[in-house]
Chain A
Amino acid sequence: MTNTKFGQFGGQYIPEVLMNEIVNLEKAYEYYKKDEKFNKELDELSKKYAGRPSLLYFAKNMTEDLGGAKIYLKREDLNHTGSHKINNVLGQALLAKYMGKKRIIAETGAGQHGVATATAAALLGLECEIFMGLEDTVRQALNVYRMELLGAKVHAVTFGTQTLKDAVNEAMAEWVRRTDDTLYVLGSVMGPHPFPTIVRDFQSIISKEAREQILEETGKLPSVVMACVGGGSNAMGMFYHFINDKDVKLIGCEAAGHGINTEKHAATITKGSVGIFHGMKSIFCQDKHGQIAPVYSISAGLDYPGIGPEHAYLHSIGRAQYVSVTDVEAVEAFEYLSKTEGIIPAIESAHAVAYAKKIAPTMRKDEIMIICLSGRGDKDVAAIAKYRGRIVNE
């Protein structure tokens, strides 16, 4: 077996009933990740279906307005289905197919991962069931319909806080009930090994491209690479190929919700502590008794009480820095990027844009910053309008 941990973080803290299947998955992944046919097919899907490589866009207006570092946006919002989630999903759904599975299941928060999974299932002829917190099915009703349109069955999860955490619980429980023909397509760099590694590998295409693109365009590496962090898949993808470039600062932006001094936030690294949950040892928002805390963010995609174990590790060794961004700042950044660049970002990605607004002016003009624009904001327009006091008919 390969190493299951990143430092002290990660591992396989899961029920015995899942161990056999997890071992199978690990074996299959180790095999197919080196398999020529698998990689060729995935590469073709990425290019001809998902639209890769994604653009590295120089945000000229934003750069001039902020008056500091040159700002580049890695445009994952331009991928098919509108976010970085498709990178991972195509990989895992294809893996499911190669493993002989007929059915894939997934959790979703904002609905992006659910939509991407339903999309891949439709394309590859797999059955698909999505688990989504009841509260999120209301916040992201359009995405629910989108998934159904794509042929998936959506289950609203009514247990607990009815958000992403509970959707993961229920998807895991469903996998416990039915493993034979089913693969759980986990949406982030979290859960038991090998998921954090699988998802990171499939998402690392983001930094692989971005690193090549920035070198080609500017001849040098960025000073800062930034992304929003919930579970942390777009951030891990954005960081990965820069980890060995010691001078590139890696910054993850967590959701501070109403503020980190309130109880309404999802700032895991800023406010959380080490724990064991959802199959992994990592950092979680929890009370002193080890009960997982209800978390909050305006962004359903960042509304998660934990973080992927590799992030916890990068944080523990000081390689990556994690900051927090409030709802107010994120909404302002959402509007700012729309007006400045004509790009409506996902409210998740807007958290990274917000922090860029803070630090870009403090950087030299010859420095470069890359922000992962993980998704597009169409899904958030109605919610932001409501936040601003306007009721928009979806």
Chain B
Amino acid sequence: MNNLIDKNSLIAFIMAGDPDLETTKNCILSMEKAGADLIELGIPFSDPIAESSVIQSANLRALKSETYLSKIFEVIKEIRAVSNIPIIFHSYVNPIFNYGYEQFFEKCKETKVSGIVSPDLPLEEKNEIKEYADKNGINIISIVVPAPKERIERIAKEATGFIYFIPSISSTGVLGDDANELNLIVETIKNVTDTPVAVGFGINTPAQAEYFSKKADGIILGNGVVKIIEKNGKLSAEPVYNYVKEMKTAIIK
């Protein structure tokens, strides 16, 4: 499977169906225009335990508008009529399990969704979906967090698409600036794989975007786009464009 990002990539998270799928579609297209390289499209779940409160609320808004997988695939088809922007899903396992792994990954292939990152599917449970993902050529995006070196290496060696690196965790969603640890982990990963690394969690300002894009191949905007949509609702396409443009400019500076 191919690498999904190059150097200086910008990955933007957006929750499907927040507040409705029409808005999601418009925002994805405007993010593409603004220079986003890959869209991380959230599939809503009732109990998103591993998210910031900003994204938790987005999950609930999306469920309120009855955003389910079948409808999400429909909207991706509409997007595909006008755009080839790379898309990966961000989903808890249960909605996919209930949709059916076989059907889910076939649909991913059909709509050119190139990967999935799942917050509740660590290396230990990857086999839950691996067979189906492999069969359809869909990347299972591996998450790396600060952990013992052997674990990071084990994950990195198996990783395809790109590696989703979350450097540090804090309840406020603000990134700690332990640059040393960050460099060390990226180096550990780079020593065992050619799969590119994207850094996520808590990147909100252009200065942060510029800083972190130098540390890795790409950066992931988690809360940023979601916050704009929370504030602007259906009228989010333009402010989302401006925000992503500003961040992308900072990266390629």
Contact = CB atoms under 8 A, between A and B. Distances in A.
Interface of A: 4, 11-17, 19-20, 159-160, 165-166, 169, 172-173, 176-177, 273-279, 284, 286, 288-292
Contacts of A16: 122-123, 143-145, 147, 155, 166
Contacts of A274: 97
B47 interface: yes
A15 B120 contact: yes
B176 to A, nearest CB: 12
B147 A12 contact: no
B98 A4 contact: no
Interface of B: 45-47, 49-50, 56, 63, 68-69, 92-99, 119-125, 128, 143-145, 147-148, 151, 155, 166, 169-171
Contacts of B98: 273, 275, 286, 288-290
**Which 6 pairs, one residue from A and one from B, show the smallest C-beta to C-beta distance?**
A290-B98, A290-B95, A290-B94, A291-B46, A15-B50, A16-B143
Contacts of B144: 16
Contacts of B121: 13
A288 B68 CA distance: 10
Contacts of B145: 16-17, 20
Contacts of A20: 145, 147-148, 151
Contact of A15 (B68, B99, B119): B119
Contacts of A275: 94, 97-98
Given A17-B166, A177-B170, A172 B49 contact: yes
Contacts of B148: 20
Given A13-B93, A289-B95, A173 B49 contact: yes
Residue among B93, B98, B99, B128 with the most chain A CB within 10 A?
A: B98
Contacts of B147: 16, 19-20
B45 A291 contact: yes
A170 to B, nearest CB: 8
A12 B94 contact: no
A13 B127 CA distance: 11
Contacts of A288: 98
Contacts of A17: 50, 145, 166, 169
A336 to B, nearest CB: 37
Contact of B97 (A159, A290, A292): A290
A289 B93 contact: no
6 contacts: A17-B145, A19-B147, A172-B49, A277-B47, A286-B98, A289-B95
Contacts of B171: 177
B47 A169 contact: yes
Contact of A290 (B96, B122, B169): B96
Nearest to B168: A17
B124 A276 contact: no
Contacts of B99: 289-290
A274 B151 CA distance: 30
A17 B144 CA distance: 8
B47 A14 contact: no
Nearest to A291: B46
Residue among B46, B56, B99, B151 with the most chain A CB within 10 A?
A: B46
Given A12-B122, A276-B120, A292 B47 contact: yes
Contacts of A169: 47, 49
Contact of B93 (A172, A177, A276, A284): A276
Nearest to A171: B49
A358 to B, nearest CB: 34
Given A20-B148, A275-B98, 12 more contacts: A4-B124, A15-B120, A15-B143, A19-B124, A19-B147, A20-B151, A274-B97, A276-B93, A289-B95, A290-B45, A290-B97, A291-B46
Nearest to B98: A290
B120 A159 contact: no
Contacts of A13: 93, 120-122, 125, 128
Contacts of B128: 11, 13, 276
A166 B56 CA distance: 12
Residue among B122, B144, B145, B148 with the most chain A CB within 10 A?
A: B122
A288 B128 CA distance: 19
Contact of B69 (A159, A289, A292): A289
Contacts of B122: 12-16, 19
A290 B69 CA distance: 10
Nearest to B119: A15
Contact of B68 (A279, A284, A289): A289
A65 B177 CA distance: 70
Contacts of A273: 98
A68 B130 CA distance: 54
A159 B59 CA distance: 12
Contacts of A289: 68-69, 95, 98-99
B118 to A, nearest CB: 9
A173 B94 CA distance: 18
Contacts of A173: 49-50
A133 to B, nearest CB: 13
A177 B169 contact: yes
A394 B123 CA distance: 50
Contacts of A12: 122, 124-125
Nearest to A289: B68
